[in-house]
Amino acid sequence: MSLPVNRRRTAAAVLTTALLIPLAACGDSGTSTGTGTGKATDKGKDSGSGAASGAPKAGLTVLAASSLTDVFEEAGAAYEKENPGTKVTFSFAGSQELAAQVRQGAPADALVTADTRTMDGLSGDTGKPAVIARNRLIIAVGEGNPENIENIEDLADPGLKVVLAAPEAPVGRYSEQILDARRVGVKPVSQEPNVRAVLSKVSLGEADAGLVYKTDAATATDKVDAIDIPDAENAIASYPAATLKASQHREAAAAFVGWLSTPAAQKILRSAGFQQP
């Protein structure tokens, strides 16, 4: 039996409304998800998840000891590849200079120094540090070793131009430790703010010799030769890494600092000549 026209229209309207309700609900859900995704993306700049390792996405600034310059550039590129959306920018300087920047409130997210003493002095500004690598010193001399320097005792020759790092810098303290242990008196022609400055003086021929980290000498093999210092006479440099409490990206900073102890990062550090923690 056919329904009257008005009743047919009413039934059609009811059916249409019934069909549209779930569609509308889906539309609201999609809008909510879109908004939520937008918020998550914005939040992700600080604490979202990176695609590769689950690390939060962020633009990170890492203060690092100058002796880490080359290896950290490689490590940073590897970390960014593993974590799309994250950008790591490094600021390299002597550890004592980095400490001064932290105390002055320089905007940064993590810190890596070339000694535990400097890091310990910043305990109120950092998270718990973890040593990620170790290093040793060598005597850097001009290519071909024109002055025939063989050991630490030779640096006492007053005819040599020896350059050292300032005692405020970790490598300067390590150098003093080595010289004092052997009772070798050296009057440096200059005291530099960091190890790279010492290496530069020798590389340019402005000094006959200088004490630098083994890994730094390895970056300039075409300009300097390295004279090994026996382990019994050497000093061990430790590199602790920590997040900075003033960071605007604490989770992302913690992820990067933690990554430095992973096999992937350690492989890069070992390849550059750094020793295991």
Look at residue 271 in the predicted model and tell me its pLDDT: 97
Mean local confidence (pLDDT), 148-174: 97
The number of helix segments (H) and strand segments (E) in the chain equals: 9, 9
The 10s digit of each residue's pLDDT in 64-87 is 999 999 999 999 999 999 999 999
Q: What is the pTM of this model?
A: 0.80
Asked whether the predicted pLDDT for residue 257 surpasses 60, the reply is yes
Give me the domains of the chain, ranges plus CATH numbers. Answer: 59-134+237-271 (3.40.190.10), 136-236 (3.40.190.10)
End-to-end CA separation in angstroms for the chain: 89
Using a 10 angstrom Cβ sphere, with 0-12 exposed, 13-18 middle and 19 or more buried, the burial of residue 157 is middle
Mean pLDDT computed over every residue of the chain: 86
The 10s digit of each residue's pLDDT in 222-251 is 999 999 999 999 999 999 999 999 999 999
Mean local confidence (pLDDT), 6-29: 39
How far are the Cα atoms of 113, 120, 270 from residue 63, in angstroms, in the given order?
8, 15, 21
Mean local confidence (pLDDT), 143-166: 97
Look at residue 53 in the predicted model and tell me its pLDDT: 57
C-beta separation of 109 from 193 below 8 A: no
